[in-house]
Amino acid sequence: MGSLNEESFIFCPELVYEQSEFVRQVALVCDAAGLIVSLPNTTGLSMPNIVRLKNRALLPGLVNAHSHAFQRVIRGRTEYRTPNIKDSFWTWREMMYSAASRLTPEDIYDASRMAFLEMALSGITSVGEFHYLHHGPDGTPYEDPNLLAKEVVRAAGDVGLRIALLRVAYARSGYETEPNPQQLRFIEENSEVYLKNVEKLVNDLSGSLGMAWVGVAPHSVRAVPLNYLREVVQFAEVRKLPVHMHVAEQEAEVSACIEEYGRSPVALLVTEGLLSERFTGVHMIHVTPKAIGMLAAARALICACPTTERNLGDGIIPANSFFKQGLRVALGTDSQVEIDLLEDARELEYHLRLQKMERAVLASTEDNGLSAIAARLFASATVSGAESIQARGGTLESGSPADFFTVDLNDPSIAGASEADLLSAIVFSQSKAAVKDVVVGGKRIVEDGRHAQQEEIVERFKRLQKKLWG
């Protein structure tokens, strides 16, 4: 206990989730720099700055590895049928673009802050923002080419979340496809311009003390031609940055890639040597067993976004095959149709149950204990997410950032759970209302289920929605 001093904060909940189980009589000690110093036994512990968290279980903060924050503005506005055409991802995308083309920098800040507030209230402590709005509505770059990225970073900082700004490279509408004027805000036609802007953003965020950092995100094989893609991945390789890319979300995207390159998107990435342990393929729905084997050999990550994928009718992610091959699967709230990462976690399992008409699909033969599937899903929502966006943390241990959330053990959705089944209750049944405290770097950003700026953030967002939609 020698490292404790008056600058240490000690959080004393009823239960702590440590090394895949809930333990009693353990405190979390955090230093003035926001790092976990130790997780000591609470017997006889008497220190200043004790924060007692009665009837609460404390868990590592959730990591949302794939977000488009501004898409929060179209929530509830796309759930209807378009006359005479089959509604799909592609019709939804047109509606999303029409909103994207109208947002000012201030609007992007307000929309992002709303999305990040809801993330914080649900236990998310870090987010990977796949950011592709770069220019003014007519495609003219702002004086600072990263103005909009910085508005998103500012929004995350003001809410108190850590953010990996995954800056998107977008060059074209698609292979042999006419330019789409709705994409003018995204496009940086060549890799030189894109990489110069990324480099500038890396420098500009370098003083953020671990709260904001940069990754590269070639949008998709559809939007970034091969030479451009190679240069972006090479740049990330030199600087060891995370690389995120939408891969195989839609069958049409896979067939367009085969038409252009004679290979599927995964085969293209493998044969070009573009996969690595820092590569996350977002969605990865329409992939063959052979492709899954290649992803595993490259130690790439997957980011599943099942609430969005079901909303868009994308398909079901083959998470059972991914886990069987030892692949790490992170989770993302993507379109923000719903912001509840534990709902994404349970859907990984539930969608496969519906497809296969059986239960416990994601259990492995070695699994025992009531919470084995939940532990796997919870690791997706924490450890794998952190690895995907290169956030430190994902688990509670000495030296890691003090990023965590607590749940009320008396919340009706989980009340009565024992230590053995609590994780399953949290992963499969917990209501977001059970989340009471959220702490990032030792700082309590949500207290008793409320965020200090909540009213103001909501009011400003309501004003923005009125302006956009009347």
| Residues recognised as catalytic | 283, 334
CB of residue 337 to Zn ion, shortest distance in Å: 12
* Amino acid occupying residue 38: S
Q: Which two tokens stand for residue 465?
A: 């929605």
DSSP percent split of the chain into helix, strand, coil, nearest 5? 40, 20, 40
What residues numbered 360-379 form the site for Zn ion, per CB under 5 A? none
- Write down the least CB distance from residue 47 to Zn ion, Å: 45
Report the alpha-carbon angle 204-210-211, nearest 5.
Answer: 80
Nearer to Zn ion, 188 or 334 (CB): 334
What is the token pair recorded at 325? Answer: 């091959």
By C-alpha distance, which of 242, 246, 266, 395 is closest to 332? 246
Give the nearest distance from C-beta 170 to Zn ion in angstroms: 12
- 298 to 337: interface string for Zn ion, x by CB under 5 A: ------------------------------------x---
Counting Cα atoms < 13 Å in the Cβ hemisphere of 60 gives: 31
Which CB sits closer to Zn ion, 42 or 101?
A: 101
Q: Please report how close the Cβ of residue 398 comes to Zn ion at its closest, in angstroms.
A: 35
Q: In the complex with Zn ion, which residue's Cβ is closer, 279 or 428?
A: 279
Residue 386 to residues 127, 242, 261, 383, Cα–Cα distance (Å): 9, 11, 33, 5
Q: Considering beta carbons, is residue 220 or 321 the nearer one to Zn ion?
A: 220
Residues 223-282 that bind Zn ion (CB under 5 A): none
Among 389, 418, 365, which Cα is nearest to 131's? 389
Give, for 396, the enclosing helix (H) or strand (E): none
Q: Which residue is nearest to Zn ion (CB)?
A: 334
Residue 349 to residue 136: CA distance in whole angstroms: 41
CA dihedral 299, 305, 309, 311 (to 10 degrees): 180
Instruction: Name the one residue in this structure whose structure tokens are 């004790």.
Output: 50
Nearer of residues 8 and 308 to Zn ion, judged by Cβ: 308
Shortest distance, position 303 Cβ to Zn ion, whole Å: 9
Sheet holding 328-331, edge to edge: 62-67, 124-131, 162-169, 212-218, 243-247, 279-283, 301-304, 328-331
C-alpha closest to that of 233 among 288, 184, 277: 277
E strands present in 161-240: 162-169, 212-218
8 Å CB contact between 208 and 249: no
Whichever of 334 and 340 has its CB closer to Zn ion, that residue is 334
Question: Which whole-number Å values give the CA distances from 413 to 150, 373, 430, in the listed order?
Answer: 38, 19, 5
Least distance (Å) between residue 217 CB and Zn ion: 9
- Least Å from the CB of residue 453 to Zn ion: 27
Residue 468: which residues within 8 A CB-CB, separation 6 or more? Answer: 73, 99, 102, 103, 107
Amino acid letter, 414? I
334 or 408: whose CB is closer to Zn ion?
Answer: 334
Rounded least distance, CB 308 to Zn ion, Å: 7
Select 67 or 430, whichever has its Cβ closest to Zn ion.
67
Q: Are 436 and 56 in contact (CB under 8 A)?
A: yes
Q: How many residues bind Zn ion (CB under 5 A)?
A: 1
Question: Which residues bind to Zn ion, rule: CB under 5 A?
Answer: 334
